[in-house]
Amino acid sequence: MADTEEMTSWQTICRLDDVDPMWGEAALVGSKQIALVRLPDDRVFAVDHWDPVAEANVIARGIVGSKAGAPTIASPIHKQVYALETGECLSDPEAASISTYEVRVAQGQIEVRA
């Protein structure tokens, strides 16, 4: 299967219980590294693991929080804050955004489609 096809279909990544709330986990979808973030209410977000400012795959190790009620993750290197829902960099409007990916939980499994 081509990488493009892999990123357009739902792929099972892991069990929901494998991801601790308020913590990021790195995963590979096709050849793309993503960061999964689970919130205490069991909502799960998937964003790029690549930090465009630090130029490193580190986002999953960032600090999960919120800004104005919206869930966020802060880069562990330079501390840019990204919205988990949109990928927008909230702390620096000039900084690049990170991509977001569709996520669903089906029968206790986290599935991602990009």
Domain limits, the chain: 3-113
Amino acid at 51: D
Q: How confident is the model at residue 114 (pLDDT cuts 50, 70, 90)?
A: low
Q: What is the pTM of this model?
A: 0.89
35-85 residue pLDDT tens:
999 999 999 999 999 999 999 999 999 999 999 999 999 999 999 999 999
User: Which H helix or E strand runs over 5?
Assistant: helix 3-6
Burial of residue 13 (number of CB atoms within 10 Å: 0-12, 13-18, 19+):
buried
Q: Which helix (H) or strand (E) holds 81?
A: strand 81-83
First-to-last C-alpha distance (Å) of the chain: 15
**Going by CATH, does the domain composed of 3-113 fall within 2.102.10.10?**
yes
The tokens of 50 are what?
Answer: 């690549």
